[in-house]
Amino acid sequence: MRFDRALLVASAPAALIAALGVATEHGALDLAPQVLAVAAGAIVAVPVLVLATSATPSRASAPATEDDWARAEARRRIRAEALLRHVDGSRAEWDSRVRPMLAREFRSALGDRARTDSAAADLGHEILGLELWRWVDPAAATVTARDDEGPGRELFIRILDRLERL
């Protein structure tokens, strides 16, 4: 939902409640305070429900048909195959393709446990150990050893195993 629509939906109840209050105060409406409270509650409930239902994720983003699922699976397979080619490549390939993916997966697995980069690094040392963390740590990418051999598939699989246990 765009911000302007959310603002409109959220401010409409306040305007209606204010109008009811002014009208009641000046005698234009003869409402008991209990009736005014119920009306105000109803006026607030509708936009809240609108905002709550529009904030839920849409199923339109998920593949709907078997063809959509097949295409999505084919895209995932192609990305995985491309990533595996980089796993066995040079340090430059590792640093530019594999390390960012592993770092994202690590941060995702940590969730709220690491709100800062330094907290993530501390947990990376603790959870993965120094040997594996140095290949996941986004700050450890190098510009000098780009032509060196990357760590390879075996280390990649060890890192994935650790991440799966988180």
Per-residue model confidence as pLDDT tens digits over 25-70: 666 556 566 555 555 555 555 554 455 555 545 455 566 788 888 8
pLDDT for 85 equals: 83
Residue 94 CB neighbour total at 10 angstroms: 25
* d(C-alpha 148, C-alpha 112), whole Å: 35
Residue 89 CA to chain centroid, in angstroms? 30
Q: In the predicted model, is pLDDT for residue 123 greater than 60? A: yes
* d(C-alpha 159, C-alpha 154), whole Å: 9
pLDDT for 133 equals: 94
Q: In the predicted model, is pLDDT for residue 12 greater than 60? A: no
pLDDT for 94 equals: 92
For the chain, the domains span: 3-59, 72-165
pLDDT for 159 equals: 92
Q: What is the mean pLDDT of the chain?
A: 75
Per-residue H/E/C for 6-34:
HHHHHHHHHHHHHHHHHHHHCCCCCCCHH
pLDDT, greater one: 12 or 107? 107
pLDDT, greater one: 145 or 32? 145
